[in-house]
Amino acid sequence: MRPILEVKDLQVSFATYAGELQAVRKVNLAVNPGEAVAVVGESGCGKSLTAQTIMGLIPSPPGRVVGGQIFFEGQDLLQLNEAQLQGVRGNRIGMIFQDPLTSLNPTMKIGKQIAEGLQKHQGLARAEALEKAREMLQLVGIPHPERRLNQYPHEFSGGMRQRAMIAIALACRPKLLIADEPTTALDVTIQDQIINLLKNLQRQLDMAIVLITHDLGVVAGLCSRVVVMYAGQVLESGPVREIYCRPRHPYTQGLLASVPKINKQGEALFSIAGSPPDLLNPPAGCPFAPRCSKAMLICRESAAQEQEVSPGHRVACWLDLYLAQNRKREVTG
């Protein structure tokens, strides 16, 4: 199956007074049609920036794509001009941004904000676009959509604002939806509703989803694969069950160990010691090595190449390669 989205060796840098900040460093990512993939990691790891680069939303200057390719339905998005990108953005690729309160226009009624994209991309008349907007509000589960069309964002609750953002992103029935922290600042009950809504809409509309999140708890309910990012790089990727049950990279192991567990109430939460590296001067070796209790000398000197450790499960870790080589020697020796 050909991926609907394929990111190859993506590199994004920002010019700063202190030098070049290497924010995304040779990221590879593939999403198949109808598939939901999660991109997880600490704040500042480059996951949201990768999503914004796919959408062509990196401010330039100071940001610039240094290298790589982004193929969507076989077309390299990095080769398109702004006019061509506008035909893709919001039409064939939809995006839900982190904070709906700041992403929605406070001076425009919700109906008009949904109808805008329909008028621009599908050439609908105002009345027809508003009727489609009403249908979208109904589709995302907002009650009394006829009345809600004429209300402003401040008249919506947090969960309803997030549903309105989803309605805007899906108005043109895109083939790919990028959801950037769609459950941030929502309580647990509303989070569950939003994840279930996205799952149902994915099935109804037959679309692919890229879920950007640092909350590992929401991943298993929606996604089939997960990509783990750290310091602008992908350290591990694979099926959700495989990653959760058998994480191979020490960073992934640390992330999963830090998730609160209901059967360990009263125990201190695990935390990964140390801080992420300075991407103005990134390390030559594995970026996680300074924080890794299992780091070897080679980890600090050279970055490990990704290798497949089981079907669909890839990891970039010298320790895994070292253990695999030792096992091979034991079998053959």
In the structure encoding, which two tokens stand for residue 264, read together?
């360990």
What's the confidence (pLDDT) of residue 55?
94
- Tell me how far CA of residue 313 lies from CA of 17, 24, 87, 287, 299, in angstroms: 39, 22, 35, 20, 21
Alpha-carbon distance 202 to 206, whole Å?
Answer: 5
Mean pLDDT by runs of 10 across the 333 residues of the chain is 94 95 95 95 92 92 94 94 90 88 90 93 93 93 93 91 92 93 80 88 92 87 94 95 94 90 75 91 93 91 90 91 54 42
- pLDDT value for 328: 44
pLDDT recorded at residue 323: 59
pLDDT of residue 265: 72
The pLDDT value given to residue 322: 67
What is the pLDDT at residue 187? 80
**Stated pTM of the model:** 0.91
Q: What is the pLDDT of residue 325?
A: 59
Q: 154 exposed, middle or buried (CB, 10 Å; 0-12, 13-18, 19+)?
A: exposed
